[in-house]
Copies of this chain bind each other. A is one copy, B any other.
Amino acid sequence: MPISKIYKLYFSGDRKYIRSLKNILGFVPNNLALYKLAFRHKSAAEEVKTGVKNSNERLEFLGDAVLGAVVAEVLFKKFPFKDEGFLTELRSKIVNRIFLNQLAKKIGLSDLIILDTKSINVAARTGSLLGDAFEALIGAIYLDKGFDFTRDFIIQTIIKPHVDINQLEITESNFKSKLLIWCQREGKILVFELKETTENGNKKLFTMEAQIDGKAYGIGSDFNKKNAEKMAAEKACLELKI
């Protein structure tokens, strides 16, 4: 970036905002509007055109895809002798909502998020809001600085200091264990119940339901019972905002 531009940014009314961004991200953004958009929760969005609001949801869509590609490459190269099933599962442990929420909190995104606290409830505030903003931030960096810069940012600033891939590799799939830990803490009983078995040629499709204290919270279907349970647990986590 030319010095004149840095000078202009630093002495604009956004000086303080740029400084907080630089502290968190480690670089000075070019297009500040993109980052402001990334941190604008839908509760605080304004209509910029008939039917179009300036929330971070579009950037989240883009950032989710870019993050997925970078994490895929990191795992592909880190584990040259593991198959695609292993890589897919390990990636889902990194890019899932719960993990991204924690990550966003760790790097200090909470203070930057703009939301309307009157119009959303506490559950929504502690829900996927931080992880969504994190993904939107990745989308903003991608549009602002390009792929290679974003890739370096994800690897150097996020993965290396904050993600212990070797630890994730040995932990159980996140949603099931998250749900179990939450139930244990809340003194509730978690049961996965087989609701239905559908014969499908020579295959069986299992529908599993995650029940907490006897109440249904999520359902999942797969040809593998464990996978159906994971899907059910994921839905229950989303439903319970954990």
Chain A contact residues, CB within 8 Å of chain B: 49, 51-52, 57-58, 60-62, 64-66, 68-69, 71-73, 76, 81, 83-84, 87-88, 139, 142, 146-148, 151, 195-196, 198-201, 203, 205, 207, 209, 216-221, 235, 239
Contacts and interface: CB of A to CB of B under 8 A. Distances in A.
A219 B198 contact: yes
Nearest to A240: B201
A84 B83 CA distance: 31
Identical subunits present: 2
21 contacts: A52-B81, A52-B83, A58-B76, A58-B84, A60-B84, A61-B84, A61-B87, A62-B76, A66-B69, A68-B68, A68-B69, A146-B148, A148-B148, A195-B196, A198-B219, A199-B216, A200-B216, A200-B217, A203-B239, A207-B207, A220-B221
Contacts of A71: 65
A72 B65 contact: yes
Contact of A61 (B52, B66, B72, B195): B72
A227 to B, nearest CB: 13
From A58, A60, A81, A88, residue with most partner B Cβ within 10 Å: A58
A212 to B, nearest CB: 11
A63 to B, nearest CB: 9
